[in-house]
Amino acid sequence: MQWRPRKYDFQAMKILIASPLRSYTGADEVEAYGANLRALLADLDARYPGIRFRMIDEQDSVRRHMRIFINGEPVKDLKYVLDETDEVCIVQALSGG
């Protein structure tokens, strides 16, 4: 069955995707809906199954080497309320070999 977005009061947000997660999305920029970060990640996982657990652990914490920036600010609280104009970036920490 083709995925269809649920009805929301606002438009889909654009999300920049870190390169390690592009095997899920196939693109560096995707869209998802959510009134807060938790809902946004749930929607993202519905579109790209498995992607959430690779960046958020089972205790609902952002994984150690992953970062989520909203409008340029790092956010770890999944209850963070989103606005449709927010810019969401999921990035990986810089690392060595």
Residues contributing to the site for another protein (CB under 8 A): 18, 20-21, 49-50, 53-61, 63, 65-66, 92-93, 95
- When the beta carbons of 36 and 92 are compared against another protein, the nearer one is 92
Least separation, in Å, of the C-beta of 64 and another protein? 8
CB of 95 to another protein, least distance (A): 6
Tokens for 93?
């920490």
| 35 dihedral zone (left: phi>0; alpha: psi -120 to 50; beta) | alpha
Q: How far apart are CA 2 and CA 89, in angstroms?
A: 26
Residue that has been written with the tokens 């989103």 in this structure: 82
- Shorter beta-carbon distance to another protein: residue 40 or 55: 55
Residue number with CB closer to another protein (29 or 65): 65
Q: How many whole angstroms separate alpha carbon 11 and alpha carbon 53?
A: 25
Closest approach, Cβ 50 to another protein, in A, equals 5
